[in-house]
Structure 1
């Protein structure tokens, strides 16, 4: 669930999935990609509301990274970020704001390998 805070075995987790499919033009809507891959306004608000209710989270788990991190990784040859990353700016900018206002121990994101 996007924008939720969970407590599991005494550790807190903020989760916010979603991301832009860079190969979207090669896919078929509602078959191999869905508009809901990008968060809605309500999901963004839900995340902020839940983070405002806690002082600290141990872990943040997202699909993509904050925009400053995406930019940094795009400068490293290993990652070769392709596609229209600008389509993801509403999400990565939101995550950048989360990064600046939230105290956390570790952040894990999964798209860059």
Structure 2
């Protein structure tokens, strides 16, 4: 089984969710960005990472925008389940951008990163990183990997939603739509790729936008069925 959940922001209590507790040895939990446990490299943080990596199931995350990218990049890079990862500790992995993975006979395409909505404040406080947005090389690598798979993936995992989905959600909130290059890139993937489900986490919302696009935050969803794990 592969369970999908949204931004955790360093909140360990999220692992007590009943849906996560259903995961068994060999299962996988994928977090759609803003993992938040790799921030200051403190003894407490290292202890928590070891605890998470010692779970019986795999814990995987794509990066969001609120990450310590300099610290994250120091972890050893390797290949696992078909794609590039940073192995943090034991069963804890960072799924890198533009990769294709295979879990439970399903293929998963990953593209983390985005643009902080509070970028001005974070820049002033010296806690903004230009690494939060995917580089041109990462975007091109994603396209190349998808082309090798005939532009097919069973599941797409991103932090940001595609352009049209983001515009729809922002319109419902009465906010102006700020479209980034990444949103446009993801919109192109919508048009050319074949997939069953697309999960994203940046909107902090639990909602099935359509039969294929799912915003996920605190809930846990079975990647194979699209149903909530409770």
User: Do both proteins adopt the same fold according to a TM-score greater than 0.5, normalized to the shorter chain?
Assistant: yes
Task: Name 1:71's counterpart in structure 2.
Answer: 167
Pick one of 77, 85, 91 that aligns with 2:178: 85
Mean Cα deviation higher: 99-108 or 67-76: 67-76
Tell me if structure 2 keeps the 8 A contact 1:22–1:85.
Answer: no
Q: Distance in 2 between matches of 1:36 and 1:29?
A: 17
1:27 is paired with a residue whose SS is: helix
- Tell me by how many angstroms 1:30 deviates: 9.5
Cα distance, 1:40 vs structure 2: 0.6
Aligned residues: 108
Structure that is richer in helix per residue:
1
The two structures have a TM-score, normalised by structure 2, of 0.44
Give the structure, 1 or 2, with the largest relative contact order (CA under 8 Å, sep 6 or more): 1
Question: What do the CA deviations read for 1:13-63 (whole angstroms, capped 9, x no partner)?
Answer: 000001101111111479522101011110110000001011321110000
Which residue does the alignment assign to 2:73?
none
